[in-house]
Chain A
């Protein structure tokens, strides 16, 4: 590298920019086309050649998506489920992570590795027995049932994520507070929670997005139309109005707004979480 001339470096830099721009266009093009279609009247959805800038453009799909079909209800359901899941997951995982990071107790590594086993088993594989368990706890077809299973499903990953962060915090502060007579709860609330805000944000964002986007479990347990979440509703729009793509995409884009906001606002945390192995599938 030390032998590169400035000229060579500049050429290379331009080449990289061109390659990245082409790549980025491929990544973003489907979204742009989705936005475009959401403003098209239905008869233009499969126009040949396709219209990239809809003419005439219409807001009808958004109006219809939002006002008809109880969309506001589904939006509220999703928001409630995702918000409660976010708070409960982050708090409970932080508590568990604190126990693993700062205490020695019998069974510690057995419990930890048992929980990590949960990271290995992909969600859809255990839908059947989860459904049986949910039914015996009378947690099917209810929003609290969704929250319960989302929080439980997120325990392994978030505990793992937060434990790593807690372990990297200097033990001296903890010991000093311990010697000062501060109990475990006080150290957790006054020391660990405030100092680990970035990690807590990562955990909260992943819990929120995971619950907001979750489809398979909701599909399996929710029967009542009133209790549907947005992913269920959107997938159903497509089934019911097989040709109303504008409507489907208007609804999808409305559902995407919170995701984009969270992603842009917490980009650093999202990347940190993804680096720890958070994959949403």
Chain B
């Protein structure tokens, strides 16, 4: 159909001719509009079916006692699923776990990622090789790295325990990493930081290319040392980038999923459960779709509030300077 529309305007307009009359231009604009809708339609239709409808559906289902069987009798229960979530000790525990995970992995990735970015910023031998090595965990699938870290953190014969006991001598016996709550979360955090540092470094590196060199030079002429230049020139210039990074990392941290599923499966006895693994089990093991959807809505709202909160804080800090 688009091809037909395009052949409808065969008249050529040379350089010296009058510009098209308003009427003709608006006819072209109209044709352009039709073409634009046609170009947009498939992508938008897919988006609606795969994301928009499910988002609306999740909100609806969260107010029901919802059974995932065809023809099931789904009863409206109002806010019951939400009340249940806030009273559910297992869900609250998972929120605490995710908060701890986030509080460790977000600063961890930002600080280490910033260090890597600063080291990679200037020219040096084999820089592109280093970049590849740091980005490798970023492009490797969560499934593979989660299984790998489960193996590395094994109690008997795991590499991490061997390094700690024999290599560094900081532990006198192997630690049961994945066998209790905080050591399990620690192992998850190590994986999260290891996998994410490369991504943070990439983003910060991109931000650093936007820092004007003359600012650095001026500061150096004024006698500012490296750390002072970092603090007063580089970091302020990176504020927007750092905001973006921390918003993305907080979202990702709160929604940690595959690594928990494959490293600890939420165990032992649900102690390393995270909100989304708990949510997943509620829905697909216990078929509590209504309750699961309520948890999903709560998680979305928490993430949204955290993102907005970070943005407001960053804006206020910027105005304060």
Tell me, yes or no, whether B186 is within 8 Å of chain A by CB.
no
**Known pairs A16-B124, A275-B203; A121 contacts B307 (CB<8 A):** no
List residues of chain A with CB within 8 A of the CB of B164: none
Q: Which residues of B contact A47 (CB under 8 A)?
A: 157
Q: Tell me whether A193 is interfacial, beta carbon within 8 Å.
A: no
A-facing residues in B210-251 (Cβ within 8 Å): 216-217, 220-221, 244, 248, 251
From A56-64, A69-77, A144-152, the one touching the partner chain is: A144-152
* Chain A residue nearest in CB terms to B139: A263
Residues facing B in A83-130 (CB within 8 A) are 92-93, 95-96, 98-100, 103-106, 108, 111, 114-115, 117-118, 120-122, 124-130
Check A105 against B33 for contact (C-beta < 8 Å).
yes
Given contacts A104-B29, A220-B284, are A183 and B157 in contact (CB under 8 A)? no
| Residue of B with least CB distance to A136 | B70
**A137–chain B nearest beta-carbon distance, Å:** 8
Closest A residue to B196 using CB positions: A279
Contact across chains for B50 and A24 when beta carbons are under 8 A apart:
no
Question: Judging by beta carbons under 8 Å apart, are B293 and A128 in contact?
Answer: yes
Choose one: A100, A132, A209; the contact of B68 (CB below 8 Å). A132
Contact A17 B124 (CB under 8 A): yes
Q: Are A248 and B199 in contact (CB under 8 A)?
A: no
When A13-B124, A37-B151, A103-B32 are in contact, do A149 and B50 touch as well, CB less than 8 Å? yes
Q: How large is the interface on B (under 10, 10 to 19, 20 to 34, 35 or more residues)?
A: 35 or more
CB distance from A36 to the nearest CB of B (A): 10
Apart from A103-B33, A104-B33, A131-B283: 8 A-B pairs, beta carbons within 8 A: A24-B130, A27-B137, A92-B46, A122-B252, A125-B299, A129-B53, A148-B50, A263-B135
Q: Which residues of A pack against B, CB within 8 Å? A: 1-3, 13, 16-17, 19-20, 23-24, 26-28, 30-31, 33-34, 37, 45-50, 92-93, 95-96, 98-100, 103-106, 108, 111, 114-115, 117-118, 120-122, 124-133, 135, 137, 148-149, 151-153, 155-156, 159, 178-186, 188, 209, 212-213, 215-216, 220, 231, 234-235, 238, 245, 248-249, 252, 255-256, 259, 263-264, 267, 270-271, 274-275, 277, 279-281
**Can you list 14 A-B contacts with CB-CB less than 8 angstroms, sorted by A residue number?**
A1-B217, A1-B220, A20-B116, A30-B145, A104-B32, A111-B44, A115-B47, A120-B251, A130-B50, A132-B54, A133-B57, A152-B46, A215-B141, A281-B257
